[in-house]
Structure 1
């Protein structure tokens, strides 16, 4: 199965395929582009670009179509297939690096484009596959790409693109490893990615890698060290785009909240809002911020309020985000439910907390994520 040319399920659906699904759903509902623009508050031009594939259709767009057309989110992605099967079939297929090595060619633009798309597709696969199942896939991809960079010949321009791909894939490997409970492996991957990003002259990507490591440290290490690292990542990321800056600042928020620095957390939450509101259709964001939207920002704010001892502020933010989340993203839904349950537990609403954590446990079934399992168990102990 060639995942670089075939739309096999929503996690690796091509932009043009998703746009076509959005267009068909709108037309079947009898709604014009102008009518949909009024319902969603997005411009008619932007909606047209989403439907033709000229602009990437992100989850927030799909949710908006769902609400405006009164149809399930899942139906907008077309037929669903089992993401675990996709991951396993992917594991058995040749990577672009292996294909190149078999032919012994000098690396050109086409091969690099395949590698870059492969990283994008793997990142999307992470939306629906737990770290324990996806880890073998991404580990192998990074190892093959690392060998390719060391052994193949290529131009300086191609070399920089390959280093960026190594950096982005290293970030994904770190994220997946952390989700699978391999924290030392995650740290190695993040730091390897930083080295590649720096060599490529991509400070924004280096900042993303360092802030990803700070996020892990805030969760399982020393929050004070995590805070220092997160702030360093923001300072070192030069000329970063608005949404990317919002993501880096979110990691500062979380580390500050875990370190119980209330003032810094509050100030940085405001900076996250300011950065996100500064986004523009004319500013190209890196692909690795594709998942950042208002709901995700609200989730982080809610989590920070819980850490700061103000759980009553968290529940409305978390519940609204969960209601708009795609059910195929079982890990994220379950994780967010654990924080919602914690917010109720810490305000004394134990019965409601039990109901929510029970739902989270159900959503977590079949998701091979050590991070999720640990969170569910922690909150279950809280509501005993």
Structure 2
């Protein structure tokens, strides 16, 4: 039996059903590729089998989650695929993002109201505040961002309720409110307030639907995936992934948006222990990442996605498979690859790396990594980060080792001093 036959049968496909599944996967990836039953039979029967076209290779590797050469094909050097961290700066093309600076056009004026007139300049000021909120969350954490968001929400809702404005300005104000609720959903996730986060997601989704903004709906759905996983509502998380993919296809979204969706699909599959599904989702993510430089416009919420996120999700898969040593190089790459403007996420990644190193038996290195986190995270107020640090301490204090004891004591002193 050929390796390709074994892989196909392990996936539960006949030759006929595999051909249909291949077409569906190609459509999901945005790849123009197909295969016939006759061609599949040749691949499985002949030795060596005929080499698939590059587009067919992309789909086959996404379906089975292994390089083409491991399926039994003779693959030339320039077509070899390797399983390695994505964040190597020598091999990854850096993308230049193009911001959306479309002008605001005036429409019909809303009925007169007792409050002041709100125009495009006022909307621009609110937009600056919302953008600053995003940066605050990534640099200082969700606690101060949540406090600031409440003041911004009062400004937006007061304008919508009391002011006079054109229909276009009203549309922009409602869009800002939808984005704000989307931020608040994330703060719920970061702060462990899952119920509040899901409620904010529902508000954000309703507002995004009212302004008919597909990209905004996708951004909320990708947060809903994370919240639903935490709430043990995996059916809801899976549904959010599928709805996001449908919206992205309908809207003609670029590869970066599809990359985010693939990463969330990997989150769901990893959580339920479907590691084959995780590998397929990660293969799809790698495919989209490789074509992300074709995107002309990338939504702000999707700009975080890149090689380091793929590496982090790959590490998560290995952790779920109880293979911490295989997770370590991917976590190291993720820590190296994350941008300096994402201080909270960077600290969170390093805590994850420290924990995995500890699980792998590398106590001294794990404690050194945690020490670097404590040096860097002063001023970051993130309940999720604090919880991860505390969980690391619970593990490290059980180890009878001088480095472990010193690390545990430093964490205790730092937490009592009010970090995060």
Give your verdict on TM over 0.5: yes
State the alpha-carbon separation in 2 of the partners of residues 201 and 187 from structure 1: 21
1:43-58 equivalence runs, <5 A: none
For the pair 1:271 / 2:284, whether they are aligned, the reply is yes
Q: Structure 1 215/263 Cα, relative in aligned 2: closer, same or farther at 3 Å?
A: same
How big is the shift at 1:136?
0.9
CA deviation digits over 1:287-341, x for unaligned, max 9? 2223222223322322233223332332112212323445564422221112212
Q: Structure 1 255/165 Cα, relative in aligned 2: closer, same or farther at 3 Å?
A: same
Answer yes or no: is the 8 Å Cα contact 1:203–1:236 preserved in 2: yes
1:255-266 equivalence runs, <5 A: 255-266=268-279
How big is the shift at 1:283?
1.8
- Is the radius of gyration larger for structure 1 or structure 2? 2
State the alpha-carbon separation in 2 of the partners of residues 188 and 149 from structure 1: 21
Answer yes or no: is the 8 Å Cα contact 1:333–1:363 preserved in 2: no
State the alpha-carbon separation in 2 of the partners of residues 232 and 358 from structure 1: 41
Correspondence for 1:357: 370
Answer yes or no: is the 8 Å Cα contact 1:135–1:180 preserved in 2: no
Correspondence for 2:412: none
How big is the shift at 1:258?
1.1
State the alpha-carbon separation in 2 of the partners of residues 223 and 345 from structure 1: 29
Correspondence for 2:153: 142
* 1:254 match: secondary structure: helix
CA deviation digits over 1:333-352, x for unaligned, max 9? 22111221232233333343
For the pair 1:341 / 2:354, whether they are aligned, the reply is yes
**Which of 191, 195, 207 matches 1:184?**
195
Higher relative contact order (CA 8 A, sep 6+): 2
Answer yes or no: is the 8 Å Cα contact 2:184–2:197 preserved in 1: yes
1:1-384 equivalence runs, <5 A: 104-237=115-248, 238-239=250-251, 240-280=253-293, 283-325=296-338, 329-383=342-396, 384=398
State the alpha-carbon separation in 2 of the partners of residues 120 and 110 from structure 1: 15
| Equivalent residues, number | 293
CA deviation digits over 1:34-77, x for unaligned, max 9? xxxxx99979xx9xxx8xxx956xxxxxxxxxxxxxxxxxxxxx
Give the TM-score, by structure 2 length. 0.62
Q: RMSD of the alignment, in Å?
A: 2.9
How big is the shift at 1:371?
0.5
Q: Structure 1 249/301 Cα, relative in aligned 2: closer, same or farther at 3 Å?
A: same
State the alpha-carbon separation in 1 of the partners of residues 258 and 330 from structure 2: 21
Correspondence for 1:61: none
Give the TM-score, by structure 1 length. 0.67
Answer yes or no: is the 8 Å Cα contact 1:295–1:321 preserved in 2: yes
How big is the shift at 1:365?
4.1
How big is the shift at 1:276?
2.3
* 1:126 match: secondary structure: helix
Answer yes or no: is the 8 Å Cα contact 1:306–1:314 preserved in 2: yes
Answer yes or no: is the 8 Å Cα contact 1:211–1:251 preserved in 2: yes
How big is the shift at 1:250?
1.3
* 2:140 match: secondary structure: coil
State the alpha-carbon separation in 2 of the partners of residues 326 and 214 from structure 1: 24
State the alpha-carbon separation in 1 of the partners of residues 286 and 341 from structure 2: 27
CA deviation digits over 1:75-134, x for unaligned, max 9? xxxxxxxxxxxxxxxxxxxxxxxxxxxx94333322222222322221112121121222
State the alpha-carbon separation in 1 of the partners of residues 281 and 354 from structure 2: 25
How big is the shift at 1:232?
3.0
How big is the shift at 1:362?
4.1
Answer yes or no: is the 8 Å Cα contact 1:190–1:213 preserved in 2: yes
State the alpha-carbon separation in 2 of the partners of residues 348 and 40 from structure 1: 31
Answer yes or no: is the 8 Å Cα contact 2:98–2:297 preserved in 1: no
